[in-house]
Amino acid sequence: MSNKKLITAALPYANGPVHIGHLAGVYIPADVYARFQRRLGQDVAFICGSDEHGIPITIRAKKEGVTPQDIVDKYHEIIKKSFSDLGISFDEYSRTTDKKHYEVSQDFFKTLYENGKFTEEVSEQYFDEQANEFLADRYIVGTCPNCGNDNAYGDQCEKCGSTLSPSELINPKSMLSGNIPVLKPTKNWYLPLNEYENFLNEWIIEGHKNDWKPNVYGQVKSWLNDGLKPRAMTRDLNWGVPVPLPDADGKVLYVWFDAPIGYISFTQQWAEKNGKNWKDYWQNPESDLIHFIGKDNIVFHCIIFPAMMKAHGNYVMPTNVPAFEFLNLENDKISTSRNWAVWANEYVEEFPGQQDVLRYALLSSAPETKDNNFTWKDFQTKNNSELVGIFGNFINRVAVLIHKYYDGVVPNGNVNAPELNEVSKSAKEIHEFLEKFEFRNALTALMNLARFGNQYLQTEEPWKTIKDNPEKAAQSLFVGAQIAVGLAQLCEPFMPFSSEKLLNMFNVQKMNWNDVENSKVLIESGHKINEASLLFSKIEDDVIEAQIQKLENTKQNNKKTNPNAKPMKEEISFDDFGKIDLRIGTILEAEKVEKADKLLKFKVDTGIDVRTVVSGIAESFSPEELIGKQVMVLVNLAPRKIRGIESQGMLLLTSKPDGKLSFVTPDDSVENGIDVG
């Protein structure tokens, strides 16, 4: 087994904070594994960073009216702090807008280009003539050909989950302007993935049938069975790593070419800071590369990135890619757009000092092989019943009783007592589970050791035997101390904050994992321990109810406030809204239109002119009651003839719950011609 472990965690998009789905499905398991490997004495490089390119960033920037750089600067810091607050022990956490990353990713591209690994292809891509921009897939919306969803994106329908291409959309429109885009030729550089099918089949399908997770293996096999196609490694965008070629103005590296190279560039940054050689991790056949990802990133980490590295040459292939399924929240899919999530930064603020509770709860519900669910009630139960009632209760009793009966000094005991084998047994079980990426089983093995300790003390009752059999009481607390220190050592990958408290409480140092496996005595008789401190505290019902209510408020906010309201029309750009010219005007004349029961004809002083407007409101108002009324007028609407009368604008009205019409008017009388907007 290699002693170099290169562990990567999927780069989080810097377009929002991280939530519990990200934590449970990638970052906490990756951290547990990295901490565990360090405890084995392995040479670990645990690498991650913010993914700061790609369409989600530019979409967020446009929505907030700021630059993409503003967005990534904001969320990079929020994400980085959340990881630090929750004890995610990255050796390097960087970002893809870093200068070093630009250099490394561009150099990687040039190597493939110079070695003839790309094909240049001209294809037709949608272009927004008004915005003067080629449209990335996410900037195109239309009707899904599979389910009829009118808001499907150019790459995916989020309603039915179908993977799409922009050309498959019915009635495609640009999200930038709302206009119908046109097809325009553009040149891009493609990696012919089909040329790597034999390599991928041999490496994964033949080589990892028995040691990779079924969900990962099955998805890769499905892709390969369907046949791979060339994939563009460049895009026509103005945000990203520029393509380092003279004839590539306005083009950037495809985000899934650029982002995984971040693992390499970030490792180089870490190596430079720590006097190490990054090639010992990336280009050493004896190095183990482990990618922790969510299931939606399997194709990129098991097909595209390996094909890139194979094309480049020299790089090691992943030893394993333990992809996780998705975590739901209160039986509903986590959704950032609906704010249906528990955000890491908010949790840290609202549950200070309880990071390990979240780590424990998420690990125990980790979606290892299928989607799983997080509920606040279950979170409370895991804390109160397991962490407080079992783990914390055992530790507290051992520490308190040693102080009470032995002035804080571990009593003498029989070092050959059979109960002392339990720590070693648990350490070996956890070791075996973690090597197989079975985090829930490993956590169960840890908690079972605490259960054993609790049951042992309950059976031995040293608080009773201290009076009539002090030797037995001493033996009980000697064994209890060994189990308590064993828990302190073994819980560190899972609950690092609690482990640190425990090590301080028992006045011991962190040990190598193998030493824990091979030792019966972890704390000697005569060793002085420190005062007991509270590890976990009960979480009351009102705290949980507040979190549930917070989610309920989110759910209500996502519902229509008026169930009779019509669906929102298609989103328009700010530029389109700016074209609308609304003015305050006064009705000077009003009369019915002959042979038209519903129409009234008005003369309206708009402040810029006096014009004729025809409106179908005769059934709601008499002409006489409207003369002199101030109204809102859309003045730059193209004129149209209604019953032979040219109408030169539109009056703004709305309908009341009873169906009657009402004018949209200013609260007070204002000057005609005043802009509305």
Sign of CA dihedral 481, 485, 486, 491: positive
Predicted pLDDT at 157: 80
Average of per-residue pLDDT across 563-589 = 73
CA–CA distance from 181 to each of 55, 129, 131, 151, 243 (Å)? 18, 7, 10, 16, 25
Residue 427, token pair as written in the block: 């350490």
Percent over 70 (pLDDT), the chain? 96
Predicted pLDDT at 565: 53
Say whether pTM exceeds 0.75.
yes
Radius of gyration over every alpha carbon of the chain, rounded to an integer in angstroms: 33
Average of per-residue pLDDT across 643-651 = 91
pLDDT tens digit sequence for 78-99: 999 999 999 999 999 999 999 9
pLDDT tens digit sequence for 486-506: 999 999 999 999 999 999 999
> 214-220 long-range contacts, Cβ below 8 Å, gap at least 24?
214/369, 215/295, 215/298, 215/323, 215/325, 215/369, 216/295, 216/298, 216/302, 216/321, 216/322, 216/323, 219/295, 219/298, 219/299, 219/302, 220/298, 220/299, 220/302, 220/303
pLDDT tens digit sequence for 105-146: 999 999 999 999 999 999 999 999 988 888 888 889 999 888
Predicted pLDDT at 569: 61
Average of per-residue pLDDT across 40-54 = 97
Residue 1 has pLDDT above 70, yes or no: no
Burial string for 376-398 (b: 16+ CB within 10 Å, else e) reads beebbebbbebbbbbbbbbbbbb
Residue 158 has pLDDT above 80, yes or no: no
| Residues contacting 146, CB < 8 A, separation 6+ | 157, 160, 162
Residue 280 has pLDDT above 70, yes or no: yes
pLDDT tens digit sequence for 630-639: 999 999 998 9
Average of per-residue pLDDT across 399-410 = 98
Predicted pLDDT at 563: 52
pLDDT tens digit sequence for 316-325: 999 999 999 9
Predicted pLDDT at 55: 82
Average of per-residue pLDDT across 570-583 = 74
What's the mean per-residue pLDDT of the chain?
Answer: 93
Average of per-residue pLDDT across 221-247 = 94
Assign 656 a pLDDT band (cuts: 50, 70, 90). low
Lowest mean pLDDT among 138-152, 530-544, 550-564, 586-600: 550-564
Predicted pLDDT at 628: 87
Percent over 90 (pLDDT), the chain? 78
Residue 651 has pLDDT above 70, yes or no: yes
Residue 400, token pair as written in the block: 């308190």
Predicted pLDDT at 564: 54
Binding-site residues from annotation for ATP: 336
Distance CA 120, CA 309 (A): 19
Binding-site residues from annotation: 144, 147, 157, 160, 336
Which is more confidently placed, 660 or 66?
66
Binding-site residues from annotation for Zn(2+): 144, 147, 157, 160
Average of per-residue pLDDT across 474-487 = 98
Specify the 3-state DSSP secondary structure of 146. Answer: coil
Lowest mean pLDDT among 344-353, 376-385, 620-629, 668-677: 668-677
Domains of the chain, CATH where assigned:
4-108+255-329 (3.40.50.620), 114-236 (2.170.220.10), 375-517 (1.10.730.10), 580-676 (2.40.50.140)
